[in-house]
């Protein structure tokens, strides 16, 4: 934020008064890009629920919450196999259109191997120009599911024109995979293209509620974000201690 008009005020003990230059917060165009590799069909810890099932629920949660905040945000959808392709290119604020796009998400039966993000970045950069012309900003939310296949790209950035967030769902580390190396590649890709502060969240726990928590954390607008390292949400819940002298008083901490 830019500050101007800083001046001291002796009447309040010399404390400075600040006035902030108004900043326009733009409506968002958001592209969800969902990894549809067979690893998206890995079961979560909830019986009968796959990663893709949880991703669909998480997207619907995000869209409904985002539109409750501002009904002028818009959404489009893409899938990632060997490379990215459009599922629904037209941006829309219509919830029914989102539901139809989510229902159309399906996984491939054969692994695509290493994912190339180049086309996703090209698609986003092209759409970002159109969004900018309408005084909007563009964001990509990539949901990636491969535990041993590092994504790559050959996208040359001349001007960072969109923001990128990543949710990475993976298996626990084991001799046959390398989720840390995949995570590092995703961080590198995010930092390469993201205009505003991009967030990345990962989980190998297989818990649907963890994905929903990540989705809620991504609701924050890119133009209003602090650095991810400074983000201290969600807060841990704690039971208030009983009054002093009460027998059997305990403090219970519940981690998310």
Q: CA 251, CA 177: separation in Å to the nearest integer?
A: 40
Six token digits for residue 41: 């069909």
* pLDDT higher than 70, residue 18: no
* pLDDT higher than 60, residue 56: yes
Mean pLDDT, residues 197-211 taken together: 95
- For residue 235, what pLDDT is reported? 67
Chain segment 150-183, per-residue pLDDT in tens: 999 999 998 999 999 999 999 999 999 999 999 9
User: Are the beta carbons of 167 and 131 closer than 8 angstroms?
Assistant: no
Torsion over CA of 60, 123, 138 and 182, rounded to 10 degrees?
A: 70
- For residue 255, what pLDDT is reported? 37
User: Are the beta carbons of 211 and 166 closer than 8 angstroms?
Assistant: no
Look over the chain and give the mean of its residue pLDDT values, rounded to a whole number.
Answer: 87
User: Are the beta carbons of 153 and 117 closer than 8 angstroms?
Assistant: yes
pLDDT band at 87 (very low <50, low <70, confident <90, very high): very high
Mean pLDDT, residues 227-236 taken together: 74
Q: CA 51, CA 42: separation in Å to the nearest integer?
A: 6
Q: How much is the pTM?
A: 0.84
Mean pLDDT, residues 205-220 taken together: 94
User: CB within 8 A of 232, min separation 6: which ones?
Assistant: none
* pLDDT higher than 70, residue 186: yes
Least confident residue range of 75-79, 143-147, 222-226: 222-226
pLDDT band at 64 (very low <50, low <70, confident <90, very high): very high
Domain ranges of the chain: 37-223
Mean pLDDT, residues 35-45 taken together: 96
What size, in residues, is the chain?
256
- For residue 46, what pLDDT is reported? 87
* pLDDT higher than 80, residue 33: yes
Mean pLDDT, residues 235-247 taken together: 54
Give the domain 37-223 fold: Rossmann fold (3.40.50)
pLDDT band at 240 (very low <50, low <70, confident <90, very high): low
- For residue 23, what pLDDT is reported? 77
* pLDDT higher than 70, residue 37: yes
* pLDDT higher than 80, residue 4: no
- For residue 230, what pLDDT is reported? 76
């Amino acid at each position: 934020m830019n500050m101007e008009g800083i001046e001291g005020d002796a009447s309040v003990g010399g404390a400075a008064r600040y006035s902030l230059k108004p900043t326009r917060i733009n409506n968002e165009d958001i592209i969800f890009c969902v990894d549809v590799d067979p690893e998206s069909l890995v079961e979560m810890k909830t019986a009968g629920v796959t990663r893709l099932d949880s991703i669909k629920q998480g997207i619907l949660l995000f869209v409904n919450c985002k539109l409750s905040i501002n009904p002028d945000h818009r959404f489009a959808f893409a899938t990632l196999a060997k490379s990215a392709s459009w599922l629904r290119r037209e941006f829309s604020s219509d919830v029914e259109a989102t539901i139809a796009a989510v229902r159309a998400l399906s996984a491939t039966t054969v692994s695509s191997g290493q994912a190339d993000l180049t086309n996703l970045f090209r698609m986003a950069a092209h759409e970002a120009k159109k969004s900018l012309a309408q005084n909007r900003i563009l964001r990509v939310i990539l949901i990636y599911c491969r535990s041993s296949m590092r994504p790559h790209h050959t996208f040359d950035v001349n001007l960072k024109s969109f923001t990128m967030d990543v949710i990475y769902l993976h298996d626990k580390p084991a001799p046959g995979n390398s989720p840390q190396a995949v995570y590092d590649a995703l961080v590198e890709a995010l930092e390469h293209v993201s205009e505003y502060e991009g967030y990345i969240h990962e989980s190998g726990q297989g818990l649907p509620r963890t994905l929903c928590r990540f989705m809620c954390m991504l609701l924050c607008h890119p133009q209003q974000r602090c650095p991810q390292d400074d983000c201290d949400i969600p807060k841990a819940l704690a039971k208030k201690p009983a009054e002093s002298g009460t027998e059997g008083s305990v403090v219970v901490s519940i981690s998310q």
